[in-house]
């Protein structure tokens, strides 16, 4: 007998799978969804099931090593990536992996979505990095996302798709939806002559209000994952220092 809390968790996974399918963010049997349970195991979608057809019977329970402990069938092919994110990020309780067309187009073109263009996207996701290509389902996939996993909740997987995660499944799903929408807008902006990034001053103003207004700090450092603990990249810091010095000189 499934506990009511667990049943509602399973139903939430099912509902997110259906939304991914309805919103065209997966095709055929693409994508996978998982959540962390209170006992430290994980519910994950079974492999080879179209996300639009997923039922609670298509969700398996696995332990932290990926060994199935409940349910029938084989776990999703990208389980290693999910487990790696859960291991690295104790704050993360849900992960969505999908192949949405616009985001995956950027991933296929080898382009991160890392220009600071839309304020609400910067607040929600920061810049969206591109993890190097890795053969799907192998240990290469966790390694490819290692440089970004701590500071980003959304990333593109080169020549593959995208992964998003959060403290709740709703948050992980909405981040995927937002990522896809951002990719679409970025592509349209390029057709219209190219996106116009916010200025450093506009970013600073946004940073100043984001913690107060949205309760979130903005991480803008992607730098190909070289830095892991700074809000600003070296170039950002140099630019800010330069401007501070200029302002002091003008006084
Ligand atoms: Zn995939």
Q: What is the pLDDT of residue 124?
A: 87
Q: In angstroms, what is the span from residue 35 Cα to ligand 1's centroid?
A: 17
Distance 62 CA to ligand 1 centre (A): 19
- Among candidate residues 12, 61, 78, 180, the one labeled active-site is 78
> What is the model's pTM?
0.84
Question: Residue 140's Cα: distance from chain center in Å?
Answer: 18
pLDDT for the residue numbered 243: 67
pLDDT given at position 10:
96
Ligand 1: distance of its center to the CA of 137 in Å?
8
Q: At what angle do helices 200-209 and 234-250 cross, to 10 degrees?
A: 100
Answer whether CATH 3.40.225.10 is correct for domain 4-191. yes
Q: How far, CA to CA in Å, does 246 sit from each of 91, 102, 249?
A: 41, 41, 5
> How far is ligand 1, taken at its centre, from the CA of residue 101, in Å?
12
How far is the centre of ligand 1, averaged over its atoms, from the C-alpha of 42 (Å)? 19
State residue 70's pLDDT score.
87
Cβ atoms of 46 and 59 closer than 8 Å: yes
pLDDT of residue 9: 94
Nearest alpha-carbon partner for 2 in 74, 11, 51: 11
Per the prediction, the chain carries an average pLDDT of 88
100 CA → ligand 1 middle, Å: 10
Q: Distance from the CA of 159 to the center of ligand 1, in angstroms?
A: 10
Element (H, E) at 193: none
- How far is ligand 1, taken at its centre, from the CA of residue 120, in Å? 27
Question: Which pLDDT value is given to residue 210?
Answer: 79
Indicate if 78 belongs to the active site: yes
**Ranges of CATH 3.40.225.10 domains, the chain:** 4-191
The whole-number pLDDT of residue 161 equals: 97
Burial of 236 (0-12, 13-18, 19+ CB in 10 A): middle
The reported pLDDT for the residue numbered 242 is 67
What is the pLDDT at residue 209? 84
Q: Tell me, what's the pLDDT at 180? A: 98
pLDDT below 50 — which residues of the chain? Answer: 222-231
User: Mind listing the pLDDT tens digit for each residue in 143-180?
Assistant: 999 999 999 999 999 999 999 999 999 999 999 999 99
């Amino acid at each position: 007998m499934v506990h009511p809390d667990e049943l509602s968790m399973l139903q939430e996974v099912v509902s997110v799978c259906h939304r991914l399918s309805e919103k065209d963010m997966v095709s055929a049997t693409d994508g996978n969804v998982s959540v962390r349970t209170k006992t430290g195991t994980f519910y994950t979608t079974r492999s080879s099931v179209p996300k639009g057809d997923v039922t609670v019977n298509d969700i398996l329970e696995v332990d932290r090593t990926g060994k199935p402990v409940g349910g029938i069938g084989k776990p999703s092919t990208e389980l290693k990536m999910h487990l790696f994110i859960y291991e690295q990020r104790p704050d993360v309780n849900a992960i969505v992996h999908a192949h949405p067309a616009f985001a995956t187009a950027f991933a296929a073109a080898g382009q991160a979505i890392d220009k600071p263009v839309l304020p609400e996207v910067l607040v929600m996701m920061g810049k969206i990095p591109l993890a190097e290509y890795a053969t799907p389902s192998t240990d290469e996939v966790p390694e490819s996302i290692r440089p970004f996993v701590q500071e980003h909740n959304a990333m593109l997987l080169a020549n593959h798709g995208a992964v998003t995660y959060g403290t709740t499944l709703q948050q992980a799903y909405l981040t995927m939806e937002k990522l896809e929408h951002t990719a679409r807008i970025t592509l349209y902006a390029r057709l219209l002559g190219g996106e116009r990034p916010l200025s450093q001053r506009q970013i600073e103003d946004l940073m100043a209000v984001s913690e107060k207004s949205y309760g979130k700090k903005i991480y803008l450092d992607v730098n190909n994952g070289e830095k892991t603990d700074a809000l600003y990249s070296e170039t950002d810091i140099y630019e800010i220092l330069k401007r501070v010095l200029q302002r002091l000189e003008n006084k």
